[in-house]
Structure 1
Amino acid sequence: MAGYNRRTFLKGAGVALGSLAFGAGNVSATADSERFFINLTEVDRSDVPDDVEIIHDLSAADVLVARGDQSRVGSAVATAPDVKIDLSDDETGAVAEAEGPTVAGNSASHNHDGAPSNTEYQWDKREQEASGELTDKPGGGKFVHDTTTGEGTRVAVVDTGVYDDHPDLEDVVNAELSKNITGDGLDFRPNGAGSHGTHVAGTIAATNDNDGPAGGVLGTAPDTEIVAVRMFSGLQGYAGDGLAGWEYAAQIGCDAINYSVGYTVADTVEYPGLIALEKIISQVANYVRSQGTVVVNSAGNASLDMDAENILSLPTEADGVFGVSATGPIGYGWGGKHSDNEAKWLTGNRLDEPTTEPAFYTNYGSAVDVSAAGGNVDLEAIATNPDAYNDLVYSTINTTNDDGDVVPGYGWKAGTSMAAPQVAGAVALVRSLRPDASVDEVESLIQETASQPEEGETYHGAGHLDLNALVKAASDGGGGNAGGGTTGNGKKKKGK
């Protein structure tokens, strides 16, 4: 196994990592000259010129998304740039990725003690003891899904679109409620931006219904309903479309929004408009919360301290947003004498780093509410050893074949984008047991039941997501004291 020292690696490569994907893609931090936000707490709507086009009316949150001459609308604090998010340098929004088999194919299994299965790669669901469906499960006893599978809940995936013809997602996505928010005239399904949204949806709610030779994969809450809200047209999206997706999700009664999208800026002095944007995001987030919807967001993949001066990671640092950092193993299924038995991949001395190890790329700081499985990467090993991809998160994907047809399959991705849906699925589990729980109560339950690894609050916030403890507390009626933890609505903020 290649040498791996997280802190040494960061010391040498941390600056370069800032150019990698932030959330679901790279961002053009310069203001788009045509699109901008209007904050109606700072300017009266009647003072907005008639020739300024309103793209999205989010006035329930005192926000408008507009197109026109920004300088003609109120004072400097009354508007903010609508940030363009560009996926052209990172098609899937992951730090690392690899395609696996199609749904009709065999997995490249190392397992000789049972039928090959895609679920053998799901270290995230195995470690959380999600279900007895997982092949050759380590341990035993009661599983999370013995108590709840998320029935009666709804989660919005505001992202690149979701391919609902995947056999593990066919009965999951509500096609009637799913929506394309971009205005490009197509539907909610992926449109040229890869499989990021499909991967996220599978992590939340895949059903393991594929009857192919390798089976399927299983989500955290396989009986929740997914609403796909596509905010990317081709490789480009706007923060304003994302916030419009948030409002829509709240209006249709979603229990959670998974927003594995973000943008980290290492010099807010250069982009002062983003400070005004932070306030606008907070207004929308707090409106969404008032409707009972939890906003779960990936903390970002720039390996940056979000508490450092002039660093800003949005939307994570905005009030009302539940920020999730990423963890993952190093050494899962890499080989050795037990490589033929995946039940041992999480046990004994098989791992160089545990599944709770902070991923080298994850942002960190007081804006992190909890950590969750996002996948880890040994960049030296992955260049020569295909088994090193097993440390990433394995889920549903869609690809396009040589004939231009969309093909459902499975693949690995690592990023805070992959950690956020673990928590969005957890929200569904809580709400299935406590449908009347407030946003504060849901967030507090997740934090109060989280376990705290040795790296502490800096990387894990209140701790690492613990589904067993969470479901037990939710079903027992304990925990959930809104004042008992630091939630996304009350996270400590650095001065800016």
Structure 2
Amino acid sequence: MSPLTRRALLKGVAGSTVALGAMGTATAADDREQYVVTASGTGALKRLERSDAEVVASIAGDTVHLVLATEAADIEGISGVASVDPNEGYRLLGPAKRATSTAESLDDQYASLQWDKMAETTGAFEAHDTATGAGSTVAIIDTGIDEQHPDIPAVMEKGRLFRADGLTSPDDDPTVAGDETIEANLHPDTEEVEPYVWRGPPETRSQSAADDVQSHGSHCAGIAAAKDDIDADGVPEDLGVVGMAPDAEAVPLRVFYWKRFEDYELDGDADGEVEETIPVVTTLYTTDFDIMSAIDYAPDVGADAANMSLGGGVVKGSAHSSGEHVAYQRVTQDAVERGTVVTASAGNASANLQQGGFYTLPNSVPGTLSVSATGPNNELAFYSNYGTSDIDVGAPGGGYETLEKTLAADTEWPYPTNLVLSTVPPDLNDGLAYDWYAGTSMAAPQVAGLVALIREVAPEMSAKKIQNVIERTARYSTGRSSPKLGAGVVYAPDALEEAQR
């Protein structure tokens, strides 16, 4: 295997959660601004519809709306409107790329490399004697899922592409059916000037709307639900890796898309001085309303879990009262009430989310199951965020307590095998179908898959009770308020036993 530089590892490992960087308010084709509006009741919605503003879509029981208006003042004075916030747009900050690859990872003969599913960590292999997620559904809110990958049971017809500007939709709708063929943007075949920022206009190809356009979503889907096939004679087919819930359906809810921007200012140093202005760039992009819409949609397709391996930067707690936070909370809690457990990565900034009142969206929103990342020894990984009362549980995300130990060759799981092996689209990875990633992105789908196992043995259990079972049966924590692991590292055998009681 070829060695990686320290910088490359920091890019590939510490940045493997989809981190978001603000890019201002999203706009409509006619240059009106997009706003996320919270307004309860049919009366408020009717007043919005009668105003000069345009209500494009409504979610969370018609309490959260995407509204087009010339300015916020056009909406704020309407009776019943509680908050008006710009529909913030984001590009990816840290690349969700592989750290490195090995030739062996091209050939469930890979079970011996899946430390994240072994008895010492999550106990997934043992749990499969009891449940495999049959009849359960996991929604992956991400970059899509590879439609052609033989090891991921992606259900494209239940999937969706969420794009608030409607540019991909034939009828300008902010959602597109997952199995509808569209012209999808990909990054240009040119130089990458910053993580996820490429010179020039995007390349395009025809594909299903919910098909993966990057790789991150497919990797998360494999962790949660990669197949464990048995042929007609009962012989394992030995294909790739095994997910936490190998018989669960994986539904792609794509919220990221490659978007063209003009006059992009490339920072030259840490002080933010502009090195150059690039006439045209293409970057992976999403908005608040895209993410909220996907959360809201997950219960509609019967998702037992909706996984969000994404998150914004660490912000001060005073923003807890913002309309953006309130909107995320309404959407998330509504999804939970409708039966979907919402799992979310805690983020990779090595940040203490408790001291000083910091938090991140969407994992810090009440109602989500916030997941920190651990390594093969069940210790917090060096990049993972942490914080008392902010982390609910830990799960395998890859790497050790320090970068140096992660890179070392003399540990029980030497680099890169201490990262998490899962599925990636071969057509986006030079023919590679499996690869090593690390991040809290890899930890959250472990928990989403566990939800699917629990729902198989306890189909009537509420989302809140499932979360309680997962927390009560977690291990390696001194209590449910550990700043690093919350209730502990999830453990599937005990969770299933508890759920069956």
Pair 1:37–1:292, CA change in 2 (3 A): same
* Structure 2 match to 1:362: 384
Q: Give distance in 1, aligned partners of 2:422 and 2:16.
A: 20
Match of 2:215 among 192, 195, 200: 195
SS of 1:391's equivalent? coil
Q: Secondary structure at the match of 1:458?
A: coil
Corresponding residue of 1:66: 67
Could you tell me which residue of structure 1 aligns to residue 417 of structure 2? 390
Measured after TM superposition, the shift of residue 361 of structure 1 is 1.2
* 1:309 shift after superposition: 2.4
* Counterpart-to-counterpart distance in 1, 2:226 and 2:143: 17
Partner letter of residue 247 of structure 1?
A: D
User: Would you say the 8 A contact 2:304–2:451 is kept in 1?
Assistant: yes
Residue number in structure 1 paired with 2:133 = 150
Residue 374 (structure 1) aligned with residue 397 (structure 2) = yes
Task: Return closer, same or farther for 1:100/1:39 CA change in 2, 3 Å cut-off.
Answer: farther
Verify the 8 A CA contact 1:107 1:214 in the aligned structure 2. Answer: no
Deviations 1:240-267 (A, max 9, x none): 1111111111112111101111112334
Which runs of structure 2 are paired with 1:254-265 in the superposition (5 Å)?
254-265=303-314
2:414 is the counterpart of 1:433? no
Structure 1 position 325, deviation (Å): 0.8
Identity %: 31
Map of 2:158 onto structure 1 = 177
Post-superposition Cα deviations, 1:370-416, rounded to whole Å, max 9, x if no partner, equal 11111125534666869511111110011436xxx984500111111
Q: Which residue of 2 aligns with 1:287?
A: 334
Paired with 1:406 and 1:244, the residues of 2 have a C-alpha distance of 33
> 1:448 aligned to 2:452?
no
The answer to whether the aligner puts 1:120 opposite 2:124 as a matched pair is no
Say if 2:159 is the partner of 1:161: no
* 1:244 aligned to which of 293, 296, 300: 293
The separation in 2 between residues aligned to 1:123 and 1:395, in whole angstroms, is: 12
Other-structure match for 1:466: 491
Cα-to-partner distance string for 1:403-452 (whole Å, 9 max, x where unaligned): xx984500111111110000000000110000000111111110111113
Specify the alignment match of 2:90 in structure 1: 85
- Checking the alignment, whether the CA contact within 8 Å between 1:188 and 1:228 is kept in structure 2 is no
- More displaced, 246-255 or 219-228? 246-255
AA matched with 1:35: Q
**In 2 relative to 1, CA 459–29 (structure 1 residues): closer, same or farther, beyond 3 Å?**
farther
Find the counterpart in structure 2 of residue 28 from structure 1. 22
SS in 2 for 1:73: helix
- State the AA in 1 paired with 2:476: Q
C-alpha contact (below 8 Å) 1:22/1:302 kept by paired residues: no
Q: CA RMSD in A?
A: 3.3
Paired residues in the alignment total: 404
Letter in 2 for 1:324: V
Counterparts of 1:412 and 1:210 in 2: how far apart (Å)?
25
Structure 2: give runs of 5+ residues left out of the alignment. 1-6, 28-32, 170-181, 183-207, 259-283
Cα deviation 1:132-177 (Å, max 9, x = unaligned): xxxxxxxxxxx211101011111111110000311111xx111211
Gaps of 5+ in 1: 1-12, 110-115, 132-142, 330-353, 478-496
- The structural deviation recorded for 1:97 is 2.8
TM-score, normalising length from structure 2? 0.73
- Would the aligned equivalents of 1:289 and 1:320 in 2 still touch at CA under 8 Å? yes
Is contact 1:161–1:230 with CA below 8 Å preserved after alignment?
yes
Paired residue secondary structure (1:72) = helix
